[in-house]
Amino acid sequence: MPTVQRRPFAAVSAGLAAAIAVLALVPAAVPGGAAHAQAAPPAPLEAKGLEVVGYNDLGQASGLTSEIWYQKQTVYVGYYCGAPQGSSIVDVSDPANPTVLFKTDTMSGTFASDVSAVSIDTAAFTGDLFVEPHETCRPGAVAELRIWDVTNPRQPALLSSTVTVDGVHNASPFLRTENGQQKAYLLLSNNFADTADNSDILGKDWEAQDMDADFVIMDITDPRAPSIVSRWNIHTEMQDLPASTFMHDAWLNAAGTVAYAAYWDAGVILLDVSDVTKPTLISQTRYPAADEGNTHQVVETRNGDFLVVTDEDFNPLDSTFVVTEPAPLAGKKPASPGSFLRVNIGQPPVEGDAVWVGRGCDADPAFGLAQPDPYLSPAVGKIAVIVRGGCSFAGKVKQAQANGAIGAVVVNNVKGAGPVISGRPAQGTTIAAIGIAYDDGHAITTTLAAGTAVKLRYGVLPGEWGYTRFFDARDPKNLRQVADFRIPETRQYPPAAGTYTVHNPWIDGDTLYLSHYSGGVRVLDIADPARPSETAHMVTQNAKGERGSVWGVMTDERGYIYLSDMVAGLWVLRHATAAVPTPTVPPTPSPAPSATPAPPIPTPAPTAPVARGPVCPQ
């Protein structure tokens, strides 16, 4: 089997401490619902060079499974907003029979995103850790970063729970030796960092725990008392950034000296973290003006000479948005089509008078809205201009249609921010909608408020889903793109139903695995990263025949491949030509057959009543 190159658990240093809220320690297990019988795995929709070894649907409703992490014949799986638990811990010592051992509880209005695990041997703790970062699903929710002792994965113990306020998307563990002692750290990426004073949220002062930056390094040498050692925020360290600039994921190089930070439209940022208390900028890649951007994740190849960069672009459509009148505002403006322009495929552009209607939310109990927002002005036969916030994009567009509008334009509510619109239209929506930047929206609405008519025109153009780029990194101050990789659906027009952007990369020797949502998992030979070539792929489905949506992929030391599928659950695959590997550690013996029912899968007892999070706002 090839040598597995893991997401680097390299090393760095320590310094500035921050108070950490330890909200619960070693909770007792309580019933979390009996394990249900697993049916045979659904047959893949497509398979080339890969075959199914094992499967577990995780007992989830479609659309809820998120990230996956493998360690020591155990898989950790997170869940998206609306799931009845935070994460599942799954025994894969027998890959043909993945078995859920434990489910963590969820926290109100949050979800577990990019989970991870690491083994440490420090002065304060020896054993295995499960790192469970949470993000918020709704305004007002307060997220936490939880660290579990999973030395015995059948009986996890919660060691610490840090209130992060903003939420953490990605927590990448790394190790280093300092003064003869092992130190353990996390690289934390915070998609929606705020620098506001959070000194009185829910009646408590969380300011010391607030991330306050998009790139954070945390010392977990003592996982019972983690502490922040440094913060780096792109918006205070750099100038002339694209409107849509935020931190998504961050990983270290194998040497533990350079962090690869994915900063969406600002591209790849390389930071020197030799001294973790003082991250410093090395270089930045910039996208050509015509490119969408959306840098999602960056990993290095086996020898570190090349970088694999995935761009998570959810818009397979391009768009045109033009203000036609009055003359002072006239011209083409940047816009985001999302899925809300699909109804315009093959149709003439939407064209007409603009009308400012305000927030324009539909009634939605998930957002505490018992009644729809009243419109500020009649919208019949006009294009409704709506401000972002307070409810989903789908609810705003649905409400515009109900008010007789022929189209909808959603203005970003973040000062200086670029265009955005995401999610899918509500069922029955027939009008096309588009997102525009704050500054353009402000100019339109102030012109309307002054009594001057504004005319708009927008429509759909062919575009492409996100794809993978390869960079020569031998000179870290001058990264140079040498290749890219697209799947057949990337440029298909009209776009196929589903979501085909690339998501997460995983490198095992000279083999690259890419999760592609509806495009399944793709396997590439990258012995020469300047000439990547696909060697295998699989597209999954669930028992209902719904096309799968692969979020994450990892491999293990035995050659097995693990997929987290938002639609179908957990898959264990292998290369079709591989012999069946023998597990290196025998599975835990099963109890003798008994007439009594199997015990339910445990979940921890929350320290306070746990409310279930609603579906995420868009």
* Statement: residue 171 has pLDDT above 50: yes
Q: Are 255 and 11 in contact (CB under 8 A)?
A: no
Let me know if domain 318-462 sits in CATH 3.40.50.10540: no
Give pLDDT, residue 611: 24
Q: What whole-number distance in Å separates Cα of residue 553 and Cα of residue 537?
A: 12
Q: What is the mean pLDDT of the chain?
A: 84
pLDDT in tens, 455-477: 999 998 888 999 999 999 999 99
pLDDT digits (tens, 9 = 90+) for 53-106: 999 999 876 668 899 999 999 999 999 887 777 899 999 999 999 999 999 987
pLDDT of residue 423: 85
Identify the CA nearest to 172 among candidates 269, 254, 242, 109. Answer: 254
pLDDT tens digits for range 481-492: 999 999 999 999
- Selected residue with higher pLDDT from 337 and 474: 474
E runs forming strands in 273-403: 280-284, 295-300, 306-311, 317-325, 331-333, 335-336, 350-358, 383-387
Does residue 51 have a pLDDT over 70?
yes
pLDDT band with cut points at 50, 70 and 90 for residue 190: confident
What percent of the chain is modeled with pLDDT above 90?
63
- Closest CA relative to residue 565, chosen from 535, 534, 538, 583: 538
**Which CATH architecture is the domain 46-315+463-575 placed in?**
7 Propeller (2.130)
State how far the Cα of 216 lies from the Cα of 172, in Å rounded to an integer: 11
Residue 110 pLDDT: 86
- Ranges of each domain in the chain: 46-315+463-575, 318-462
Tell me which residue of 90, 79, 70, 18 sits closest to 567, measured CA to CA: 79
Omega before residue 488 within 30° of 0, cis: no
Least confidently predicted of 20-24, 176-180, 454-458: 20-24
Q: Per-residue confidence at 109, pLDDT binned at 50, 70, 90?
A: confident
Is 318-462 the same fold as 46-315+463-575?
A: no
pLDDT surpasses 70 at 598: no
Better-scored residue on pLDDT, 394 or 424: 394
Per-residue pLDDT reduced to its tens digit, 555-587: 999 999 999 999 999 999 999 975 444 444 333
Using CA atoms, how far apart are residues 441 and 356, in angstroms rounded to an integer? 10
- What SS3 class is residue 224? coil
Is a pLDDT exceeding 70 seen at residue 478?
yes
Task: Please state, in angstroms and rounded to a whole number, the distance separating the CA atoms of residues 473 and 484.
Answer: 15
